[in-house]
Structure 1
């Protein structure tokens, strides 16, 4: 009787559980059906770098090229399955590349041959030699979804066998045998939960973890465990074990990098090891499998000891399951953690990617573009991007030290130092591009993307003195026609590097308001050459030159170059108007690219998931300056780096031929370029407060650090001297007289470039020059020699002297309209008898003029 009652009771309980199970099975079947009707994972767009160009003479090896191709998704000949991206065959001294149907390139194969560690030659399929060959672009990152989650989708076949064994050994040893639920483990876990009243949910199989991750909330209740089992049975019924493991491998959360969540083994392999998942070795597979338990607590960057211990536990579990031998496990345990550099900025260029995302939205106008698996091919050079991040990390340490020093105080000489608690450390931006193609090779928009996603590369800031070269270029423009510029003394002449400019304070008026600009260190030199004025970044002299040229002419040139806010006022000459670093790097291409402005570009091609072209994009360019003017301005900026405010670049060990300009407003700037690389660095505070550091101290060292590293890379190592175009002559001038140097003149000479026909004709011994005696020179008696003639090529009538344009009352009035009525300039003070007698305001001479502290402007 007791047995009957017990049997009935068991039957009733079983019936009850069957009814409950059937209820939940049917209820969640609809939910699972609805979820499985759409893709399990969003196939987000993928961002690819620019192709790596291989050229004869480069320092490369066949194994390195093979590694690049594997990273790009190529498979070796004979491997299965064959990658649709392409294949390669590797020999002792060569590698043959066969692009596939989904390659970025046309399916033209090539063989790259090597002599030691150098590319010897490149030949096509017909044996014809090639000057260069582009490898498959590398994947930089996948765009994140709306939750800022990143994953790189992988197939089961792409997962290393060691990774599958590691995961199953530590998480679910009977995965390929059970039907979704390991009842022994489950009952033990449920008993433990009921006794401890702590719902740890132990005993979950991989399928149960997948069911929980896809369909259920994080709450830990007995009812949810039942629902989890119901969904597990449905998944096991619908999919094979390999399909379930593939879904699990793409879904599992494995930590955080910056502001992004890392989901799936594909993304984790890149985040932690900088590798494609197919390239993971045994110890790396064990580490990733170990992270599943608690990605945050076991983060190998923050808790390396914990991560190492957990990795070794996984290796021991693999020995227990027979997945590896004890010897293999011990060898793997002996290996240290070899993690990739933890830098989202260096590895994934997030500020660059954000700009690319914005451009895609503008061009496609489709909010769903990021669910179509698009392939986005860009201009980025990953090596140069990493170089930019490294340079910023090093450079901003120096900047932070300087800022901290400014906020450190001592009450008395022997008192301990105290540091302000509310220090604001500045932000930074760096952009590097190819000045001849406009290709943006590297872009960093801030010092830490995880801390701030504000992209300072596209933030509008006053440009400071990196604007000044446009004043000098506008002045050189007038020389092309032989126009005579007239200074405040009424002296006229064709503009050249040795044109004398007034560097004494001058007051400009607009109505009843006055504007009296000063130099950065308030030093005054009287009359100085244009060359020296830019070399030392003298504000007063540069504004005087802009007035001689015409403020509107300067502003017009700047707007043509891309500085759209520029207006024809005195303050335009010293960078009072704003522009973004990205706009300024584009504007500087007019100097670095022989007068042709080329718009910076980041987006090369958009293709669908199969590699078919949706749209290709070509850069736009426009001639702005005569090549001679571009070179003459470049020559002045070479002098800035070699002898002027940017001479610290040379002191830091950067020795390649280069031209550049420092800039300081409330921010610090440096713009500079070599024959093949243009880079701009900006440093400033988000609240627009003054960082109290000039461009020479804050921005130029970062530029120098970056360029030193860049020219060490094979692609950028072949820097060359700037070549003067036809129509430009370089002459040696005496520093004491700024006339042609000859053997009769004492002291040093310097080289200066002139438009043909405008160079000095007198020599420094005055044999054909000023024949007045000392008494006549002191008292201004007798006739001075005439200035240089206009250029020989100028056959048209010489224009009238340029009249002064509309000056503002102060920098705040910098936005005065271009059609402002003509202003009056108060006369400057003339040099008196003693000033002339004792040499105040003497001509430009880097050695004989008083040398100020480096002017950051």
Structure 2
């Protein structure tokens, strides 16, 4: 039996003590002069990271503000490209961008500065134990002293088992008539936690003591403490057990262990005796008494001055609102899991990897807030069981900033953002208009499209008769207005004129798998299915000026030794014409100013937002894709059973997007006019048709590869006549 226990201890200690989950971080905020980052953005980031606002920063994790200036002491952090020390810096802003970054004191300027990313949680959250490994040498010395003073004051003097402690506990329990004190050493507790169950029996206590003797004989006190500090059980978060002081600090206070005050460290040590019994949220007075006892023992042992003790016991518990380590972004984590398996060879859970992602905590939080706010309101109209999905990507890089997979953002269930294939309806239309605008010799925003009753024959001779949503016909409408108002008949006529093959080719260039698209006229009205992620990819290419960037959530993967196993560098490549993409996005701005998305313009008229609504057959699916200067946001709504929800893109998803973008504070969508796009004037007849005219009432941009329109008309007629007659 002795050899067996000896072998068990040796294999565990000299192998991998724990299955360590992958730790997931958000994107890091990178500051540099000229970057379009506002003063408010940095302050919000520091608040998210739980920096403490003070008058003058003195310690790591503190910041101060003044007009267009932020001073803070950045935490040391091991970034994906290596460790960086703490920095006491000042960042000055010039309204909407960073003006200057310099070191407080020396005034030495920085060309770039990264702020440490937010810890999001653990990827393999279904493991029974969760921990963040932190070596003993990096843990606060007062915490270690408090632990030894409270749990095992003879730790450095016994051989793993303390007869004195056992005798002391026996006498105390005998006097009390019940168990009030334990005699187990830290080494015995470690042996029990690592190898044994909580069974109360003499045989279990014997094995515990025997294994403690083996551990103490084979390993140094520092090795034992290192294992204990990372093994100790401190809380239960749902199905996850919180182990180790490093994760316990995050769970209870939302802070790195190194930034805890001595009273907060004492609370963690006090919880060792019974995390449930001393649960500080449920039993705050009980927890405070236990904390104060630990502080008194520290003072009695000379680890704490009396004046500091008196200050510490007067402090409140200062817990964060609610302890949690489970995935707060289950949809996003699902995307990470897929990318991790696809990009890291021989990936196995439990290796303790560090995952750096592209998630923006501000975008994610505000998307979740919008879902929680809007869905209950819409359910009053659409009925219960209304579901949604939200995907948010950087407009230029394609980096996924946020993802919500259902109407309950924190629920780890079916991920509709990446798995729900739903009919896309009218959100297909910008791709059709772009395919046409890539042929400037045939089509422009002013091209008049037929809007009359239409019947087409299918491959099997069946008739297909599309109709406009309002069941009205207008004879002819300009192309830009057909896109803005989402008219079906003009869109079908345009798509047929361009050709189904050309439309499908264009969609493939935008990032859609052509195998998903049926070569049928009905595809021109979105009678096929895509996931919200696939829709977002299509729109990212349009919104970036025709440059496709593969959507990604995983930025880098680093192992325990600091080796970079995977790194993604954002890259893009031309996919479709810059001019045609620009004109399409211009048309999508008209969706907001005068079309199906004009509700949004009433809220944010100066942001020049672009977007597109979509509603599938019988109202089973409704969509909105919104674009500002920063992000592409796709919102889908529907039911899992595919029943109608009585919502359109305007009355459903657009309302959620509007709630989100107001919280997020949009970046105006200022479009740089590409080469060979010029403004041209048009006359409009009573029926709404446009015709070229130097003196027209309507002005539209036109892609003119040959420059002939520049010769045909004067842009500013009044200026022309002033010059001609010298007014």
- Alignment TM class, shorter chain as reference: 0.7 to 0.9
Give the Cα separation in 1 of the matches to 2:581 and 2:271: 57
Give the Cα separation in 1 of the matches to 2:46 and 2:412: 37
Q: Choose which of 376, 380, 395 in structure 2 pairs with 1:400.
A: 376
Note the C-alpha offset of 1:216. 0.8
User: Are the equivalent residues in 1 in contact too, given 2:448–2:476 (CA < 8 A)?
Assistant: no
Cα deviations by residue, 1:572-610 (Å, 9 ceiling, x for unpaired): 122222222222222112211111212112334444433
TM-score (norm 2): 0.79
CA pair 100-521 structure 1, distance change in 2 beyond 3 A: closer
CA pair 108-308 structure 1, distance change in 2 beyond 3 A: closer
Q: Within the alignment, does 1:753 sit opposite 2:704 as a pair? A: no
Give the Cα separation in 1 of the matches to 2:377 and 2:544: 37
Q: How does 1:564-713 map to 2 (within 5 A)?
A: 564=513, 565-619=516-570, 621-653=572-604, 655-665=606-616, 666-711=620-665
Secondary structure of the residue aligned to 1:697 is coil
CA pair 223-609 structure 1, distance change in 2 beyond 3 A: closer
- Residue in structure 2 matched with residue 217 of structure 1 by the alignment: 197
- Residue in structure 1 matched with residue 414 of structure 2 by the alignment: 454
CA pair 364-65 structure 1, distance change in 2 beyond 3 A: closer
Moved more, 333-342 or 731-740: 731-740
Q: Tell me, which stretches of 5 or more residues in structure 2 are unaligned? A: 52-58, 61-68, 715-727
Note the C-alpha offset of 1:207. 2.5
Cα deviations by residue, 1:202-245 (Å, 9 ceiling, x for unpaired): 54443322211100123333321221122222223333444333
User: Are the equivalent residues in 1 in contact too, given 2:93–2:100 (CA < 8 A)?
Assistant: no
Note the C-alpha offset of 1:49. 3.8
Give the Cα separation in 2 of the matches to 1:685 and 1:252: 45
Give the Cα separation in 2 of the matches to 1:287 and 1:498: 72
User: Are the equivalent residues in 2 in contact too, given 1:553–1:568 (CA < 8 A)?
Assistant: no
- Residue in structure 1 matched with residue 131 of structure 2 by the alignment: 151
Cα deviations by residue, 1:271-305 (Å, 9 ceiling, x for unpaired): 333221111223432443344445456655xxx24
Moved more, 440-449 or 390-399: 440-449
Note the C-alpha offset of 1:339. 0.6
Q: How does 1:53-202 map to 2 (within 5 A)?
A: 53-56=30-33, 58-59=38-39, 104=81, 114-115=91-92, 120-122=99-101, 132-135=112-115, 140-144=120-124, 147=127, 149-168=129-148, 171-172=151-152, 175=155, 178-181=158-161, 183=163, 186=166, 202=182
- Residue in structure 1 matched with residue 269 of structure 2 by the alignment: 289
- Residue in structure 1 matched with residue 64 of structure 2 by the alignment: none
Give the Cα separation in 2 of the matches to 1:60 and 1:26: 63
In our comparison, the structure showing a higher alpha carbon Rg is 1
- Residue in structure 1 matched with residue 65 of structure 2 by the alignment: none
CA pair 93-688 structure 1, distance change in 2 beyond 3 A: closer
CA pair 253-462 structure 1, distance change in 2 beyond 3 A: farther
Cα deviations by residue, 1:605-654 (Å, 9 ceiling, x for unpaired): 44443334444444554423211111111011101122222223234447
Secondary structure of the residue aligned to 1:220 is coil
Cα deviations by residue, 1:377-410 (Å, 9 ceiling, x for unpaired): 43333x33xx323332333332123214554xxx
Q: How does 1:303-318 map to 2 (within 5 A)?
A: 304-307=281-284, 309-318=286-295
Q: How does 1:463-474 map to 2 (within 5 A)?
A: 463-474=424-435
CA pair 283-703 structure 1, distance change in 2 beyond 3 A: farther
Cα deviations by residue, 1:685-705 (Å, 9 ceiling, x for unpaired): 334443333332332233233
Q: How does 1:363-378 map to 2 (within 5 A)?
A: 363-368=343-348, 370-371=350-351, 373-378=352-357
Q: Within the alignment, does 1:335 sit opposite 2:344 as a pair? A: no
Q: Tell me, which stretches of 5 or more residues in structure 1 are unaligned? A: 1-23, 72-78, 84-91, 408-422, 484-493, 764-857
Give the Cα separation in 2 of the matches to 1:40 and 1:235: 13
Q: Within the alignment, does 1:391 sit opposite 2:367 as a pair? A: yes
Note the C-alpha offset of 1:63. 11
Cα deviations by residue, 1:517-546 (Å, 9 ceiling, x for unpaired): 334454554533333322222233322322
Give the Cα separation in 2 of the matches to 1:137 and 1:501: 53
Secondary structure of the residue aligned to 2:477 is strand
Note the C-alpha offset of 1:710. 3.4
- Residue in structure 1 matched with residue 55 of structure 2 by the alignment: none
CA pair 424-183 structure 1, distance change in 2 beyond 3 A: farther
User: Are the equivalent residues in 2 in contact too, given 1:598–1:620 (CA < 8 A)?
Assistant: yes
CA pair 644-621 structure 1, distance change in 2 beyond 3 A: same
Give the Cα separation in 1 of the matches to 2:451 and 2:623: 26
User: Are the equivalent residues in 1 in contact too, given 2:232–2:244 (CA < 8 A)?
Assistant: yes
TM-score (norm 1): 0.68
